[in-house]
């Protein structure tokens, strides 16, 4: 502890300066309730989290491994996600936990009364509770902050999104995109969040960090309500924890600045013996090394090679860009350009990653999720269609350059994956999987997985896990791809296959094949230059060259 | 040494006060606009150069002042400065805040903008549109501003007020830079205004929460009770409250209630013809032009706004007009929000004569001054609009428009919620 020269005031970081006087009865009861409540709300309540942490490969880490450590649901979920049947906007778990903590706290009071083991105060326990809450809040917000510090949480809009009308987006999408177009601003938000989190690791700066968190996360809570972002509960969580950490400061602040009478923050800090002190500093150093140093590096790798919301595989270079659909034949029948034709493709884009998008003039089932989460397979990274209407379809493609064939797979699937499993109630689990297979038969694929890509081509395509830069081939990625084939069998997706012909350096691309309904398809695409009024700056995520 | 250190305080504070009072003149004019409900607190001429000049003058004056009165009562002058800062800040925050509490600060999204590709808006427009998409957030921002302004009106709570305001407007400043708003000087000015109050108590705050030491409150106060300004103070405070709370608050509220907006023309559109229309037939000089994804002079779709604006989507790329001034305009002819900083569509102001059903269109973008139309308007049926006439070059033109029953996800999703699977649109 550095003891700076601050005139002659009492400043002593051992126990002596706090007058360890008797706490009144109400304060002791309140403390017991808060203690149980905040402990419960600071530890993960989901078995997935524990298995995840147990299974982490520490020698080939993925940014998401650490992210998942930092992000988890908590509280008493034994009674489900309602309080007497009410969801309370998702806050019912807090209320349930509070009810549980109140009962437990009162029992605790009763027991110490019966045993006549009543303590005068709980200064030491309060210190430890603060430590737990500080680290919980600090780590949690750092996990979030890094995805902004390296701007990947709100990606820059894809070509397909730039071509989507403003009215065809959800409010959530609009907010996320409006952040995505200004990556430096996102970096600033990330620096603020990581900075605030780091300040919580140090006793002296707790108040500053917590105050910053209340402000920043308070605004995020309102954003989530206003734009229907879906993570209002988890962002409120940080506000709640921060307000708790600020408890010792309210009264002194009020006294000095409002009442204008002298005051002091009364906080107890235990004095550790040397061995414990060594343990303390080692743990602290380890935490900072891992969750700031290592995390920074991992998030950099993610930003550089594998931005988690956009596909990581580079798109075929010869045809990237916006295309007009000059000719369109279905089963040999020509469909001339007509914006009201419900069959014809209206326009198309080949993204810089492995996605083909096209627009149709007819209603489509929509993915209204946030399009985030942790999928590693490109086909499951759906930011480019989530929250997007206007007939926009997106297909992931594998390209076989030997036979000049594209194997396309719809990014939309009627039964979405559950996302952020580790986070559980601390995350946005995406759209809940509550429709049955019978409901989705109408979307059933007419081209099965086996029929789609012949074995010989499959061999040529190689292992998709290796499509990214070696540094992004984390154990997490490899494990997910090891299971990918099994999971794919259970998915319901539209698929189709086309041969492509590239003319004139990709100015014209001709696609011939069968579409998802086994109708024969003939499409002539001509490159068009869109006169967009925004353009990506230098801070661009991903490696697509 | 101490002497110099002490004297350096008036130099700095002096610089602030002069800087503030000079800018204050501009803002006072603007303030009238605000109270008369056509608000604009931005002066397009204020540049970093102006600020540098003011800084120079301030330093010179401070030096002069110091040489004249070496034994200045610093505490008193600093106190005056803080009073000035607090009220100046509160006035800005109340006006800006009430315009957000009653969400007038940005308009609702126009039909034309809903039918514009995401990529065609410039950055600053994106920021404003995203605020339009969720007025609830704007209301929240307004409440924070008004609350901070109230805290600023009282000496004892002013510090808490600036603790809210500095991060708030610091963030606005960065957003101004990021979205190329050009008016980062306004947010800079607000942060600067809050500094005298903030810096005054900063040391005590650090002592209290960082060092956790025993902290004495600020000791120096002006004794109003013994001052002949006592009455002036009371009257001033009350009139400030009346003007900024009741007048500004009431004006904002009534404008909100009457669904006024500060950005779009106030002239009414066409009765029964509002919405998006597809272009069914397009006949130029007798030749029917087929739809095409390429540039061919044909229109793609047409939007009739609720006010007298018609916009046309075209394949051609559009030279965007940037607003020359960021002052919020009063007259329709100066209300340029809908057509500046955006491409994809051409925006026309129209006049309609009831007697002979003549619709005249004039492009509002300054890069397309010659672009105009004169049409005979008729409605073959309630869903169709037929325009027959000529364009500005004298070519004959006949366009048949058909109403598009367009549903917007932005609005629809609010009805169904996002947790629904299999929702089609």
> Is pLDDT of B59 > 80?
no
| pLDDT on residue A302 | 95
Do B251 and B310 fall into the same domain?
no
Pick among A232, A256, A383 to test the B interface (most B CBs inside 10 A): A256
Confidence of residue A374 (pLDDT cuts 50, 70, 90): confident
Summarised one tens digit per residue, pLDDT across range A3-28 is 344 443 444 444 444 456 788 989 99
Mean pLDDT across the stretch A432-457?
70
Subunit contact B179:A182, Cβ cutoff 8 A = yes
The residue of chain A nearest to residue B207, with distances taken between CA atoms, is A6
Asked whether residue A421 is domain-assigned, the answer is yes
The residue among A305, A331, A361 that closes a domain is A305
pLDDT tens profile A242-264: 999 999 999 999 999 999 999 99
Query: A396 and A285: one domain?
Result: no
Enumerate residues 210 to 229 of chain A having a beta carbon within 8 A of any beta carbon in chain B. Answer: 211-212, 215-216, 219, 222-223, 225-228
> Residues A329, A278: one domain?
no
Model confidence at A468, pLDDT cuts 50, 70, 90, reads very high
What does the block give as tokens for B252?
């904002």
Q: How far does the CA of residue A164 sit from the closest CA of chain B (Å)? A: 5
Classify residue A414 by its DSSP letter. Answer: S
Radius of gyration of chain A (CA): 28
Q: Please state, in angstroms and rounded to a whole number, the distance separating the CA atoms of residues B165 and B190.
A: 8
Give yes or no for residue A442 having a pLDDT over 80: no
Residues in chain A within 8 Å Cβ distance of B209: 207-208, 249, 252-253, 265
Residues B37 and B100 in one domain: yes
Residue A510 has pLDDT above 90, yes or no: yes
CA distances for A234 relative to A103, A410, B42, B183, angstroms: 25, 31, 38, 34
B239/B355 same-domain check? no
Which of B222, B257, B292 is a domain's end point? Answer: B257
Long-range pairs for A283-288 at CB < 8 Å and ≥24 separation?
Answer: A284/A201, A287/A135, A287/A139, A287/A201, A288/A198, A288/A201
Q: Which residue has the higher pLDDT, B60 or B338?
A: B338
Residues in chain A: 545
The mean pLDDT value for A422-442 works out to 57
Look at residue A441 in the predicted model and tell me its pLDDT. Answer: 56
Number of domains in chain A: 2
Rounded distance between C-alpha atoms, residue B335 and residue B328, angstroms: 8
Task: With CA atoms as reference, report the closest residue to A536 among A194, A154, A193.
Answer: A154
pLDDT at B31 over 90: no
CB atoms within 10 A of CB A275: 8
Longest dimension (CA), chain A: 93
Arithmetic mean of pLDDT over chain A: 89
Query: Could you tell me the CATH number of the domain that includes residue B303?
Result: 2.40.128.20
* The pLDDT of residue A216 is above 80: yes
Q: pTM of the entire structure?
A: 0.90
In a domain, B410, yes or no: no
Nearest alpha-carbon partner for A419 in A455, A382, A444: A382
Which pLDDT tens digit goes with each residue over A333-363? 999 999 999 999 999 999 999 999 999 999 9
Given a cut of 80, is residue B77 above it in pLDDT? no
Residue B262 domain flag: no
Kindly state the helix (H) or strand (E) to which residue B280 belongs, with its residue range: strand B275-284
Contact across the interface for A256 and B215, Cβ inside 8 Å: yes
Reported as a pLDDT band with limits 50, 70 and 90, residue B49 is low
Residues 461-520 of A with CB under 8 A from B: none
What is the 8-class DSSP label of residue B245? I
The answer on A340 and A297 residing in a single domain is no
Contact yes or no for A443/B422 (Cβ under 8 A): no
Asked if the structure places residue A6 within a domain, the reply is no
What mean pLDDT do residues A153-175 have?
Answer: 96
Can you tell me which residue has the tokens 């539209």? A494
Closest-CA residue in chain B for A250? B209
Chain B neighbours among A 308-347 (CB < 8 Å)? 324-326, 336-340, 346-347
pLDDT given at position B26 = 35
Q: A10 at the B interface (CB within 8 A)? A: yes
CB A140 within 8 A of CB A37: no
Q: How far apart are the first and last CA of chain A?
A: 50
The answer to whether B80 contacts chain A (CB < 8 Å) is: no
**Residues of the domain holding A262:** 23-305
Rounded mean pLDDT, A138-150: 95
Q: In 10 A of CB A543, how many CB atoms?
A: 16
B139: tokens are 């209301």
Q: Which of A369-373, A517-521, B364-368 shows the lowest per-residue confidence on average (mean pLDDT)?
A: A369-373
Same domain flag for A364 and A261: no
Return the pLDDT at B238: 87
The closest of A364, A353, A359 to A324, measured between CA atoms, is A359
Q: CA torsion sign, A140 to A143 to A149 to A153?
A: negative
Q: pLDDT band for position A178 (50/70/90)?
A: very high
* B411 occurs within a structural domain: no
Q: Domain of B101?
A: 2-257
Q: Are residues B144 and B248 in the same domain?
A: yes
pLDDT at B84: 80
**Residues from chain A contacting residue B119 (CB–CB below 8 Å):** 157, 162-163, 530, 532-534
Do the Cβ atoms of B116 and A368 come within 8 Å? no
The whole-number pLDDT of residue B171 equals 93
pLDDT band at A438 (very low <50, low <70, confident <90, very high): low
Question: Into how many domains does chain B fold?
Answer: 2
* Domain co-membership, A203 together with A345: no
Close Cβ partners of A428 (under 8 Å, ≥ 6 residues apart):
A229, A230, A231, A234, A369, A370, A372, A419, A420
Give the ipTM of the model, two decimals please: 0.91
pLDDT of residue A15: 44
Mean pLDDT of chain B: 82
CB B165 within 8 Å of CB B190: yes
Q: Which of B341, B406, B422 sits opposite A435 (nearest CB)?
A: B422
Position A311 in a domain = no
């Amino acid at each position: 502890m550095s003891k700076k020269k601050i005139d002659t005031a009492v400043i002593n970081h051992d126990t002596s300066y706090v007058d360890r006087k008797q706490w009144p009865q109400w304060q002791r009861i309140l403390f017991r309730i808060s203690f149980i409540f905040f402990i419960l709300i600071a530890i993960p309540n989901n078995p997935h989290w524990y298995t995840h942490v147990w299974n982490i490969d520490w020698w080939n880490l993925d940014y998401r491994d650490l992210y998942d450590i930092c992000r988890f649901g908590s509280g008493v979920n034994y009674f489900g996600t309602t309080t007497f049947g009410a969801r309370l906007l998702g806050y019912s778990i807090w209320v349930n936990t509070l009810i549980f903590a109140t009962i437990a706290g009162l029992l605790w009071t009763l027991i110490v009364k019966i045993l006549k083991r009543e303590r005068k105060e709980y200064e030491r326990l309060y210190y430890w509770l603060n430590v737990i809450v500080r680290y919980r809040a600090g780590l949690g917000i750092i996990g979030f902050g890094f995805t902004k510090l390296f701007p990947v949480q709100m990606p820059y809009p894809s070509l397909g999104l730039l071509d989507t009308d403003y009215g065809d987006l959800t409010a959530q999408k609009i907010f996320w995109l409006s952040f995505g177009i200004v990556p430096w601003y996102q970096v600033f938000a990330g620096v603020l969040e990581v900075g605030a989190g780091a300040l919580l690791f140090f006793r002296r700066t707790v108040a500053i960090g917590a105050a910053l968190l209340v402000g920043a996360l308070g605004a995020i809570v309102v954003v989530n309500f206003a734009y229907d972002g879906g993570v209002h509960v988890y962002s409120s969580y940080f506000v709640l924890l921060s307000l708790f950490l600020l408890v010792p400061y309210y009264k002194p602040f009020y006294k000095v600045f409002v009442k204008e009478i002298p005051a002091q923050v009364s906080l107890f800090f235990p004095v550790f013996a040397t061995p414990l002190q060594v343990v303390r500093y080692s743990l602290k150093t380890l935490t900072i090394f891992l969750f700031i140093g290592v995390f920074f590096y991992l998030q950099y790798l993610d930003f550089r090679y594998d931005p988690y919301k956009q596909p990581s595989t580079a798109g075929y270079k010869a045809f990237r860009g916006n295309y007009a659909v000059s000719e369109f034949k279905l089963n040999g029948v020509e469909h001339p350009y007509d914006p009201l034709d419900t069959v014809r493709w209206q326009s198309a884009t080949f993204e810089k990653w492995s996605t083909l998008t096209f627009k149709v003039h007819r209603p489509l089932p929509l993915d209204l999720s946030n399009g985030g989460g942790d999928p590693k397979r490109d086909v499951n990274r759906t930011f480019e269609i989530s929250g997007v209407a206007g007939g926009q379809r997106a297909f992931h493609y594998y390209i076989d350059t030997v036979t000049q064939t594209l194997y396309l797979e719809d990014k939309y699937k009627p039964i979405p994956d559950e996302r952020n499993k580790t986070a559980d109630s601390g995350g946005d689990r995406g759209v809940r999987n509550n429709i049955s297979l019978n409901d989705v038969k109408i979307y059933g694929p007419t081209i099965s997985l086996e029929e789609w890509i012949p074995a010989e081509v499959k061999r040529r395509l190689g292992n998709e896990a290796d499509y990214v830069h070696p540094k992004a081939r984390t154990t997490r990625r490899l494990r997910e791809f090891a299971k990918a084939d099994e999971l794919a069998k259970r998915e319901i997706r539209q698929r189709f296959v086309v041969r492509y012909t590239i003319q004139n350096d990709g100015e014209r691309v001709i696609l011939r094949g069968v579409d998802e309904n086994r109708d024969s398809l003939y499409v002539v695409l001509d490159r068009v230059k869109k006169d967009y009024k925004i353009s990506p700056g230098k801070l661009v995520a991903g490696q697509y060259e | 040494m101490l002497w110099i250190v002490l004297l350096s305080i008036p130099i700095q504070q002096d610089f602030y006060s002069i800087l503030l009072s000079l800018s204050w003149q501009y803002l006072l004019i603007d303030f009238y606009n605000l109270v008369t409900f056509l608000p604009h607190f931005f002066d397009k001429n204020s540049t970093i150069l102006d600020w540098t000049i003011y800084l120079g003058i301030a330093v010179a004056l401070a030096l002069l002042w110091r040489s004249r009165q070496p034994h200045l009562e610093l505490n008193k002058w600093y106190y005056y400065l803080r009073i000035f800062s607090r009220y100046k800040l509160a006035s800005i925050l109340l006006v800006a805040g009430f315009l957000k509490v009653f969400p007038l600060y940005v308009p609702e999204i126009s039909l034309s903008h809903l039918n514009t590709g995401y990529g065609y808006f410039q950055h600053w427009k994106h920021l404003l549109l995203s605020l339009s998409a969720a007025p609830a957030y704007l209301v929240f921002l307004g409440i924070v501003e008004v609350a901070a302004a109230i805290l600023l009106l009282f000496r004892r709570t002013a510090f808490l007020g600036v603790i809210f305001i500095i991060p708030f407007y610091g963030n606005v400043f960065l957003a101004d830079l990021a979205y190329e708003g050009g008016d980062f000087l306004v947010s800079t000015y607000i942060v600067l205004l809050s500094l005298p109050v903030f810096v005054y108590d900063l040391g005590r705050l650090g002592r209290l929460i960082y060092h956790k030491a025993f902290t004495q409150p600020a000791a120096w106060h002006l004794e109003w009770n013994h001052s002949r300004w006592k009455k002036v103070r009371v009257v001033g405070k009350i009139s400030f409250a009346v003007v900024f709370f009741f007048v500004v608050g009431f004006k904002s509220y009534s404008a909100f209630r009457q669904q006024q907006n500060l950005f779009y023309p106030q002239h009414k559109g066409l009765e029964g013809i509002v919405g998006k229309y597809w272009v069914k037939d397009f006949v130029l000089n007798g030749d029917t032009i087929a739809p095409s994804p390429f540039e061919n002079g044909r229109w793609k779709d047409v939007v009739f706004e609720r006010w007298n604006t018609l916009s046309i989507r075209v394949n051609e790329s559009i030279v965007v007009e940037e607003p020359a001034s960021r002052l919020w305009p009063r007259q329709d002819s100066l209300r340029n929000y809908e057509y500046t900083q955006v491409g994809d569509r051409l925006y026309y102001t129209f006049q309609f004569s009831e007697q002979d059903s003549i619709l005249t269109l004039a492009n509002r973008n300054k890069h397309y001054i010659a672009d105009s139309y004169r049409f005979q308007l008729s409605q073959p049926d309630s869903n169709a609009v037929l325009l027959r006439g000529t364009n500005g070059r004298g070519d004959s033109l006949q366009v048949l428009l058909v109403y598009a029953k367009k549903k917007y996800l932005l609005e629809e999703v609010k009805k169904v919620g996002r947790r629904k699977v299999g929702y089609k649109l």
